[in-house]
Amino acid sequence: MLKLTELSQSTTDTDDVVTLPFEYRQKSRLLSQTDKGAKIGIFLPRGQTLQHGYILTGQDDYRVKVQAAAESLSVVRTDDALLFSRACYHLGNRHIPLQILPDELRFQTDHVLDQMLVGLGLTVSHESLPFEPEQGAYHNHGH
């Protein structure tokens, strides 16, 4: 098993890729397997999350790129700024992980939240997409 203990945002070449859903990218300790089949152990300082594109390194400088897996998501698209803001407010009020893109919101499928948004006048679709939610205002940026 390869022990991966360092995390960077480097853009250099990698030896392998590990594709993980958001649930597993939140963990700082994880046993997994790369896309090429190598068994890996991820051992990072507590509180670090694995973002899509990050590079994990460890033994013998073996470099593994983190890839966000496609997941079942609820997706809301609108060009109505007020409606978009109201959706963000109500979803944020429930403290759910939320990915905010231009004119688009993504969150892990929850039929109760879907119905709330429909009640606000939005249309919710369900898609299988990578999920990269906001880190939050108090996320440690290494300052």
Residues 6+ apart with CB under 8 A from 60: none
pLDDT of residue 44: 93
Give the pLDDT score at 141. Answer: 47
Answer yes or no: same fold for 2-68 and 70-130.
Answer: no
R_g over Cα of the chain: 17
> Are residues 106 and 73 in contact, defined by beta-carbon separation less than 8 angstroms?
yes
Domain borders along the chain are: 2-68, 70-130
Secondary-structure percent of the chain, ordered helix, strand, coil, rounded to 5? 20, 40, 40
Kindly give the confidence (pLDDT) of every residue in the chain, 143 residues in length, as a single tens digit, with 9 standing for 90 and above: 999 999 888 777 899 999 999 999 999 999 999 999 999 999 999 888 899 999 999 878 889 999 999 999 999 999 999 999 999 999 999 999 999 999 999 999 999 999 999 999 999 999 999 999 998 655 554 43
Whole-structure pTM value = 0.84
Q: Which CATH class is domain 70-130?
A: alpha beta
d(CA 88, CA 83): 9
Question: The domain at 2-68 falls in which architecture?
Answer: Sandwich (2.60)
